[in-house]
Amino acid sequence: MGTGVMIVNPNSKLCFSTLIEGGTGTASMDKTMPEFLPERLEPGTLNVTGFAGLAQAVAELDYSIEKERCMQRKIIDGLKKINGIKLYTEPKNYENYLPIVLFNKSGFTAETFAERLSEHGICVRGGLHCAPLAHVALGTGSSGAVRVSLGKGNSESEIEFFLKAVDSIG
């Protein structure tokens, strides 16, 4: 079972084809789906647990990313002080960027350095990140780079731990 969201202007007069017929809660005896939404697209039992998960995921989106941008600045400032680091992320205006940092450390491929950080319990991604042409443009086309993606669950102490780990690997 899957879940999803579709927003339709009720004044649009759109009519959708169905994939599965019958079994609505409003017209259980009908073998065809009703013309009105959302029932037209809801045959059988709804994926209630899936919708509960989707609702929680949407609720998690309701936050400000300013904390993550502050941590991004701290990571970038900290990485600049570490020998052998090549930064590919250094926004002039952090407001226009997601809280992501992209870097490499000399003497390591991106994947090898990500593995070394993993040995310290740090989860990052090393490689081409499904964007080989972006890495060609950055000059990292052969092995990519290490990507740090920050989220609302990250803490200041994790940033300090990360920077110490990066500095200690060499």
| The two three-digit tokens of residue 92, written as one number | 């002039």
- The domain in which residue 42 lies consists of 1-62
What pLDDT is attached to residue 139?
Answer: 92
**Can you list the positions of beta strands (E) in 47-163?**
85-87, 100-105, 125-127, 145-149
What pLDDT is attached to residue 91?
Answer: 80
Domain identity same for 49 and 77: no
Domain identity same for 70 and 113: yes
Residue 155, domain CATH: 3.90.1150.10
What pLDDT is attached to residue 115?
Answer: 98
Establish how many alpha carbons lie within 13 A of residue 139's alpha carbon, considering only the half-sphere containing its beta carbon: 5
What pLDDT is attached to residue 121?
Answer: 97
**What's the distance, CA 113 to chain centroid?**
21
Domain identity same for 48 and 9: yes
Report which of 27, 66, 60, 65 is spatially closest to residue 44, judged by C-alpha positions. 27
Q: Are 30 and 21 in contact (CB under 8 A)?
A: no
Domain identity same for 19 and 74: no
Domain identity same for 21 and 81: no
Task: Round to whole Å and give the CA distance between 21 and 19.
Answer: 7
What pLDDT is attached to residue 89?
Answer: 86
Domain identity same for 108 and 138: yes
Domain identity same for 2 and 39: yes
The number of domains in the chain is 2
Block means of pLDDT (10 residues each) for the chain, 170 residues, are 78 81 75 82 82 86 84 96 94 84 97 98 95 92 94 93 96
Domain identity same for 83 and 160: yes
- Reduced to 3 states, what is the DSSP secondary structure of residue 53? helix
What pLDDT is attached to residue 1?
Answer: 65
